[in-house]
């Protein structure tokens, strides 16, 4: 398929990246007549804590929209990852070492705070490095930009002068959103104290647009202090800073979490005062922890990138970020198996789909239109349950069952990784919480019937045939809800409330092994 045909299909696609790409295209047609300009995508990062999985999500989603835009328009693009590393250090994160040391640097710019891990020049540099190393590892195409570098090098100077010239207009935009006390002291400019190095939130007594200075009363000495707004001697408050960044860098597209919706509105108003058009935006929903609370860098209550990748593939993480970005989702360990299986399900469908269907398939977007072929003989969920039954401590145990289940299956790096991840998940997230119970009288009757029926089968019987057998036994037991029969099997045989398709599990585990397992259930050998 040539690019022209692909563009035609992209015009009609309802997948959210193409919807976003068309919105951006329409904005540029209306407000920017320079069709040769490199279109700038931005994503921002606050390095006040360790890199957050939500940060990866924003970069991944922005990259997906960027690719969709390139397919739709054929235009050149660039993505910058901007670090607000000149922000004042407001709170010591709970999940970092040397808490007492860091407490001494409250209100200092993050690039002036020591690295508690003693590896980099500053805490900001440490966190920036962690972010960059991860983005590099997974092949994101981006340019890293530091706020400290931009302020101190003078790159923002012209924009800062424009802010100062429009000081009163900007004040009038922000003040109605503040409480009475905060209104009295608010200024878009935050001076960096010449003596302490702290980023100060102080009342500005006067401004000088000719000399590009601001003045304030030092809280300790009670003396008037005048500082330049240029060259890193000042920084801007968040909403004004965001607008200034769009203005100075020429940002065309930036998405943000729902919690920043008000900031987007106010920053856009400020940008219009400066004489520019706000970038195209996208508001995504937030991730929630196991208790349904918003995850945050400072609390450290969400999954880290490293934690996800201990149990799930990078592709599954990317799919989680892609799917339903406007819906709040629990980001906890238990979503990993399902998401991993969904990824391979989408991948399996891809080859059979029309071109129109392919570009709406998540794997097309995740792999920039070229997903790699990778069919696996078993699902991640099935591997987990197999590991659970045979108490697998290593990948080789699982591999033995898989090779029997699918004779002739080739041992691939992808399958090896999936097995390794499943073993990790079982040992750390399932085994410590397994709880078997004894079967009740109806379940005993069903299990005895299942043993009898399985004993006349052989290894040639398919998983579908075995599933039908299990199903028919459950119907004979006259359960009001047949799900109770399967739930009982999961609880007595696997020690958990949910489980795999029983036919697939028995086929993988083997009929003889399953019979022995069921006999152990009847004898109460699994209950501790």
Count: domains in the chain: 2
Residue 42: which pLDDT band, with cuts at 50, 70 and 90? very high
Judgement on whether residues 393 and 449 belong to the same structural domain of the protein = no
Q: Is the pTM of this model over 0.85?
A: yes
pLDDT, residue 403, reads 83
Residue 291: pLDDT over 90 = no
Q: In Å, how far are 392, 394, 401, 483, 518 from 434, measured between CA atoms? A: 14, 18, 22, 20, 17
Full residue range of the structural domain in which residue 409 is found = 380-433
Q: What is the CATH number of the domain that holds 486?
A: 1.10.10
- Among 370, 398, 433, where does a domain finish? 433
Judgement on whether residues 385 and 450 belong to the same structural domain of the protein = no
pLDDT, residue 146, reads 97
Residue 34: inside a domain: no
Distance from chain centroid for Cα 347: 20
Distance CA 210, CA 71 (A): 47
pLDDT, residue 433, reads 87
pLDDT (average), residues 186-210: 95
The three-state (H, E, C) secondary structure of 60-114, written as one string: HHHHHHHHHHHHHHCCCEEEEEEECCCCECCCCCCCCCCHHHHHCCCCCEHHHCC
Please tell me the least confidently modeled range out of 1-15, 259-273, 317-331, 460-474: 1-15
pLDDT, residue 73, reads 95
Is the distance from CB of 15 to CB of 265 less than 8 angstroms? no
Buried b (16+ CB within 10 A) or exposed e, 391-424: ebeebeebbebbeebeeebeeeeebeebbbbbbe
Residue 523: which pLDDT band, with cuts at 50, 70 and 90? very high
Residue 414: inside a domain: yes
Residue 259: pLDDT over 80 = yes
Residue 441: pLDDT over 90 = yes
Residue 189: which pLDDT band, with cuts at 50, 70 and 90? very high
pLDDT, residue 300, reads 61
pLDDT, residue 301, reads 65
pLDDT (average), residues 378-398: 86
Distance CA 336, CA 128 (A): 27
pLDDT (average), residues 303-307: 84
Q: In Å, how far are 41, 80, 185, 267 from 170, measured between CA atoms? A: 25, 26, 14, 10
Judgement on whether residues 450 and 510 belong to the same structural domain of the protein = yes
Pairing of strands 143-146, 77-83: parallel
Q: Please name which of 166, 155, 222 lies closest in space to residue 189, comparing C-alpha atoms.
A: 166
- Among 433, 460, 477, where does a domain finish? 433
Residue 167: inside a domain: no
- Among 414, 433, 452, where does a domain finish? 433
Higher pLDDT among residues 424 and 390, named by residue: 424
């Amino acid at each position: 398929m040539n690019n022209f045909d692909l563009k035609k299909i992209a015009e009609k696609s309802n997948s959210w990246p193409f919807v976003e790409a068309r919105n951006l295209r329409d904005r540029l047609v209306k407000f920017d007549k320079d069709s040769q300009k490199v279109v700038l995508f931005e994503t921002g990062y606050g390095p006040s804590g360790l890199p957050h999985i939500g940060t990866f999500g924003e970069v991944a989603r922005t990259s997906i929209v960027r690719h969709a835009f390139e397919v739709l328009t054929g235009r050149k693009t660039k993505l910058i990852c901007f670090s607000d590393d000149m922000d004042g250090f407001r709170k010591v994160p709970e999940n970092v070492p040397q808490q007492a040391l860091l407490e001494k640097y409250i209100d200092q710019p993050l690039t002036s705070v020591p690295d508690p891990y003693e590896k980099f020049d500053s805490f900001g540099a440490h966190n920036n490095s962690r972010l960059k190393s991860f983005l590099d590892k997974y092949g994101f195409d981006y340019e890293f930009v530091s706020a400290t570098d931009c302020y101190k090098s003078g790159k923002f100077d012209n924009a800062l002068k424009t802010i100062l010239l429009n000081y009163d207009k900007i004040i009038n935009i922000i003040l109605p959103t503040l409480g009475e006390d905060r209104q009295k002291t608010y200024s878009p400019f935050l001076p960096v104290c010449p003596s302490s190095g702290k980023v100060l939130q102080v009342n500005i007594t006067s401004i000088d647009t000719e000399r590009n200075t601001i003045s304030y009363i030092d809280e300790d000495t009670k003396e008037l202090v005048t500082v330049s707004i240029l060259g890193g001697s000042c920084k801007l408050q968040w909403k004004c800073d965001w607008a200034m960044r769009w203005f100075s860098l020429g940002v065309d597209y930036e998405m943000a979490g729902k919690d920043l919706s008000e900031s987007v509105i106010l920053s856009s108003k400020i940008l219009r005062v400066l004489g520019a058009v706000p970038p195209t935006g996208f508001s995504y929903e937030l991730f929630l922890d196991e208790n349904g609370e918003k995850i945050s860098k400072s609390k450290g209550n969400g999954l880290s990138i490293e934690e996800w990748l201990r149990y799930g593939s990078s592709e599954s993480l990317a799919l989680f970020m892609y799917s339903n970005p406007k819906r709040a989702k629990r980001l906890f360990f238990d979503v990993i198996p399902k998401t991993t299986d969904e990824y391979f399900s989408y991948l399996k469908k891809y080859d059979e789909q029309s071109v129109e269907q392919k570009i709406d398939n998540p794997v097309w977007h995740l792999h920039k239109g070229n997903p790699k072929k990778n069919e696996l003989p078993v699902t991640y969920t099935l591997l987990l349950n197999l590991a659970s039954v045979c108490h697998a401590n290593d990948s080789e145990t699982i591999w033995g069952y898989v090779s029997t289940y699918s004779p002739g299956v080739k041992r691939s790096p992808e399958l090896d990784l999936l097995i390794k991840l499943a073993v990790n998940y079982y040992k750390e997230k399932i085994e410590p919480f397994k709880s078997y119970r004894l079967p009740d009288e109806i379940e005993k009757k069903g299990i005895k019937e299942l043993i009898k029926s399985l004993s006349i089968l052989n290894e040639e019987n398919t998983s579908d045939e075995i599933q039908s057998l299990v199903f028919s036994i459950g119907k004979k037991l006259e359960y009001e809800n047949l799900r109770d029969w399967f739930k009982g099997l999961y609880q007595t045989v696997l020690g958990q409330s949910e489980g795999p398709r029983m036919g697939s599990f028995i086929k993988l585990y083997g009929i003889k092994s399953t019979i022995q397992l069921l006999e152990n259930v009847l004898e109460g050998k699994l209950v501790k």
